[in-house]
Amino acid sequence: MVGLIIGIVSVALIGVVFLWVSAIDYMKENYPDYKGEDLFGEEPLDESNSEIKFEDVFNEEKKENLKKFISEHKKNIEKD
């Protein structure tokens, strides 16, 4: 009985893996430049402005940019 259950699960798992690999291959062949960055509907952040250093807090120009960045991306910033 246990062997039958293991066999059924194994066949189902092999089927799922086959479909998954087929889908990956299909995407690679038909959409080679797709990176999946829009998968969850998030807009990519401007990475040139996203790195925050301690000394930026004391630089007035960078402090204003930091305030602007935080106000624009409040939904992405979690409170501790």
All structural domains of the chain with their residue ranges: 1-32, 47-80
Classify each residue of 61-71 as buried b or exposed e, where b means 16 or more C-beta atoms within 10 Å of its C-beta: ebeeebeebee
Which residue would you say has higher pLDDT here, 64 or 47?
64
Q: Does the pLDDT of residue 18 top 80, yes or no? A: yes
Q: Does the pLDDT of residue 23 top 50, yes or no? A: yes
In the prediction, which pLDDT does 77 show? 61
What's the rounded Cα separation, in Å, for the pair 60 and 76?
Answer: 24
What's the rounded Cα separation, in Å, for the pair 14 and 45?
Answer: 38
Measuring CA to CA, which residue among 49, 54, 53 is closest to residue 68? 49
Tokens of 68: 């602007």
In the prediction, which pLDDT does 66 show? 75
Longest dimension (CA), the chain: 72
Q: Does this model's pTM top 0.75?
A: no
In the prediction, which pLDDT does 47 show? 59
